[in-house]
Amino acid sequence: EIVLTQSPGTLSLSPGERATLSCRASQSVSSTYLAWYQQKPGQAPRLLIYGASSRATGIPDRFSASGSGTDFTLTISRLEPEDLAVYYCQQYGSSPRYTFGQGTKLEIK
Amino acid sequence: QLQLQESGPGLVKPSETLSLTCTVSGGSISSSTYCWGWIRQPPGKGLEWIGSIYYSGSTYYNPSLKSRVTISVDTSKNQFSLKLSSVTAADTAVYYCARADSSGNYYVKDYFHYWGQGTLVTVSS
């Protein structure tokens, strides 16, 4: 089973700053099969990124992602107050087919 | 626009079976282009994939839950369902249904594009 470890656990930044969120896999992940989600308080997760770096429809270009192998990064440039959320990475693999990281909580000062 | 809506009891007694249904609107569940899944989130915790199903009826389950999970599909109603047996308090969670899409390889539905709003199921006597 591939375990995804996200860091930091909590990130506290001010509006306008840049956020860098990390997702590290215990084994190599196909970059095609790495996705990122945003979950705002009281809401369902929303797809941000699929295929490691492709933005989902309607996602602002402030959100970008990169990575390969075991190290993946989600970057949010120019933070806005509405970016307050928990961010999850997710990979598709063999067994179990889908695993999620434990999440990074982004706080806006 | 595709919408998914979970429905079912919000309270289940320990040792009983949790049953939920996801109704899909704005699109057909009968497409090999996608598969359909259940994901849960205990209060204050992270996301856990439960299992997925294709319209054909092929299923894939999380090994940690496999012995207790059954997912089925009813194409005539554009619905798919989850049954989780022998529940305990540890199964208390918000349960989401979602559609999985492919980012490249047609045969691999690797990310969850659309999600329902979720439904809280509490296991308690």
pLDDT for B18-31, tens place per residue?
999 999 999 999 98
Whether B67 contacts chain A with CB within 8 A: no
Select the residue of A43, A44, A54 nearest B103 (Cβ to Cβ): A54
Q: What is the pLDDT of residue B68?
A: 98
pLDDT in tens, B35-50: 999 999 999 999 999 9
Q: Is the pLDDT of residue A31 over 90?
A: no
Q: Going along A1-109, which residue ranges are E strands?
A: 4-7, 10-13, 19-29, 34-39, 46-50, 54-55, 63-76, 85-92, 98-100, 104-108
Residue B98 has pLDDT above 90, yes or no: yes
Q: Which tokens hold the place of A84?
A: 């307050």
Chain A hits for B101, Cβ within 8 Å = 50
Confidence of residue B79 (pLDDT cuts 50, 70, 90): very high
Confidence band of B55 (pLDDT split at 50, 70, 90): confident
Q: Which of B64, B110, B115 sits opposite A33 (nearest CB)?
A: B110
pLDDT over 70 for what percent of chain A? Answer: 100
- Is B119 part of the contact surface with chain A (CB cutoff 8 Å)? no
Q: What is the pLDDT of residue A30?
A: 84
Reply yes or no: is the peptide bond before residue A96 cis, omega within 30 of 0: yes
CA atoms within 13 A on the CB side of A41: 7
Closest approach of B111 to chain A, Cα-based (Å): 6
pLDDT of residue A32: 84
* Per-residue pLDDT, B99: 97
Any residues with CB less than 8 A from the CB of B51 and at least 6 apart, and which? B37, B38, B59, B60, B61, B62, B65, B66, B69, B71, B82
The pLDDT value recorded for residue A1 is 87
Report pLDDT digits (tens) over A59-108. 999 999 999 999 999 999 999 999 999 999 999 987 789 999 999 999 99
Q: Which residue does chain B place closest to A92, by CA atoms?
A: B110
Tokens of B120: 């809280």
pLDDT for the residue A15: 96
Mean pLDDT of the B51-79 span = 95
Interface check B60 vs A, CB under 8 A? yes
Chain B residues within 8 A of A37 when measuring between CB atoms: 47, 112
pLDDT at B112: 97
CA nearest neighbour of B112 among B43, B34, B3? B34
Contacts of B45 by beta carbon, 8 Å cutoff, 6+ apart: none
Whether B111 contacts chain A with CB within 8 A: yes
pLDDT, residue B106, reads 79
Residues 86-105 of B with CB under 8 A from A: 96, 100-101, 103-105
Residue of A nearest to B43 (CA): A42
* Residue-averaged pLDDT of chain B: 95
